[in-house]
A and B are shown apart, each in its own frame.
Chain A
Amino acid sequence: MGNLFPNFITISIIVISMLIFSTFTLIAFNLTNLLKIWEDKIEIIAYLKQGTSSREVEPLLNKTRLLEGVEVVRYVSPYDAMDFMATKLGRQKSLLEGIQPALLPPSFEIQLKKDYRNSTKIKEVVAHLEKIRQFEEIQYGQEWVETFSVLVHILRLTQWILGGLLLIGIVFITSNTLQLTISSRREEIEVMHWVGASPGFIRIPFYVEGLLQGLFGGGLAILFLFLLHQGFFLYIPPSMKAWMEKIPVLFLPPETIAWILLGGMVLGFFGSFVASMRVLKYK
């Protein structure tokens, strides 16, 4: 670390770039996590046609249970549906007075196997259910699952496009600032060439410098992101706190942190490699 100013500039730029990238990673990670939580709760409600006799229910239950991807099927009679609505309405259950349970359609609540709780696989199960003529309507909240899934995909795509651009920027900036460092030691390098130092002997300290800059920059970016993450909880309004309790806002898992640090090191190394290719040719 012969030259403080270029090192400071390089590390600062790596920190800013890695902070932007890891912020997107954190947002995408939490939205993916949220999507997983919601997907875990996904179930299909298949409404039976009015007039379906109770004798038909049991064979239909068995038939549905045998479908691929189905884990548990529960029959909800009109009376069960009425009780459920009464529970949901609470003190306002008087609204249901005068309504005959028979008006409510019977339904099957279908829970899916874990592998099938995503927007792609759920459609396969729904396609099978739609072929069963006794079902009037099938609901699985497909719209919000699909919309949210698209949102997460767009975010992931933005993250990687932005990551790619930042990556090029980091390599460019690291290599240029390392050239400044190399220039400040030009006299020493020239003498090294003169007395027969091996190219590795001359270059390896610069590679190590690049690696350390990348590691240090990545580490500081993670630290700042952690502080931002903690600060986020301090400054959320009380009205949102109760709502937030249901949606966990997690910090990056250790393996993602390790990847970001490794990424910083690789970028720093690559920057110094490019710089050394440009200015450390043996003369």
Chain B
Amino acid sequence: MNEAIIEMDHVSKTYPSQISALSDITLEILPGEFTFIAGPSGSGKTTLLRILCCAERPTSGEVVVYGMHITDPGFKKIYQLRRTMGIVSQDFKLLRDRTVNENVAFALEVTGHTRKEAKRKASDMLSRVGLEEREEDPILALSAGEQQRVAIARALVNSPPLILADEPTGNLDAKMTLDIMGTLTDLHQKGTTILFATQFTGLVKRYSYRVIRILDGQILNGRKVDSTQVPEVKPGE
């Protein structure tokens, strides 16, 4: 049996304003799993993903990712953890003064690839997300949906074994959502582990992947369930 690559053990997160974002979360993610983290806006999906990439520290509990005890006070190798994952965040985190290609290539350059190699790989990845025609455009010339695809391309370009995607299709139309899902499914079939946070249950129901339903910072179903059992949650609910 495969060992879990992500283990969260009784993890809670309370912000200084006493708002409880996560409460006693315990879960395991196995290698190669495609997991939806489904829940309405404000349910704690983003906080959970941010804890997994060390962008936030939980108030209590323990988190282990790829054997790294990332909640240990002495844990300093955040950059090594981040290199194991491609992160797509809601706010894209793109460089506004650079072109589309430069944004994607940046992720490769800062991890030791040559500029030429980074540009070529970025170009290949941009073709996969349908942005080959916009490569040399400045990032601000792109629509929100296109910027989201750039962020996805940047997260995938390093071929990370784990992808943390926070509402990656939130700004995309139906066709592009299906294209991106196709890309992620393709990566999943090649062995990439994917955590996909979304509030769109319609999307979740389309695929028979594991679903972790989260509401008010608590997991409603921690183990494997049939995605058809996920209760309907409308966007903005």
Contacts and interface: CB of A to CB of B under 8 A. Distances in A.
Interface of A: 187-188, 190-199, 201, 282-283
Consensus secondary structure, chain A interface: helix
Contacts of B149: none
Contacts of B89: 194
Interface residues of B, number: 20
B93 A194 contact: yes
B78 interface: yes
Given A187-B96, A188-B95, A283-B55, A193 B106 contact: no
Interface stretch (B80-88, B126-134, B204-212, B225-233): B80-88
B143 interface: no
A199 to B, nearest CB: 7
A91 B67 CA distance: 101
B106 A191 contact: yes
Contact of A194 (B76, B80, B82): B82
A191 B93 contact: yes
A201 B78 CA distance: 14
Contacts of A283: 55
Nearest to A192: B110
Interface of B: 55, 76, 78-83, 87, 89, 93-96, 106-107, 110-111, 154, 158
Contact of A195 (B55, B80, B106): B106
B215 to A, nearest CB: 28
A199 B110 CA distance: 11
A83 B139 CA distance: 96
A196 B93 contact: no
The 9 A-B pairs of least Cβ separation, nearest first, read A196-B82, A197-B110, A196-B83, A195-B107, A282-B78, A196-B79, A198-B79, A192-B110, A194-B93
Contacts of B78: 193, 282
A193 B79 CA distance: 7
B95 A197 contact: no
B93 A197 contact: no
B111 A197 contact: yes
Contacts of A187: 95-96
A195 B95 contact: no
B63 to A, nearest CB: 17
A193 B111 CA distance: 11
B171 to A, nearest CB: 18
26 contacts: A187-B96, A188-B95, A191-B95, A191-B106, A192-B110, A193-B79, A193-B82, A194-B82, A194-B87, A194-B93, A195-B82, A195-B87, A195-B106, A195-B107, A195-B110, A196-B79, A196-B80, A196-B81, A196-B83, A196-B110, A197-B79, A197-B110, A199-B79, A282-B78, A282-B79, A283-B55
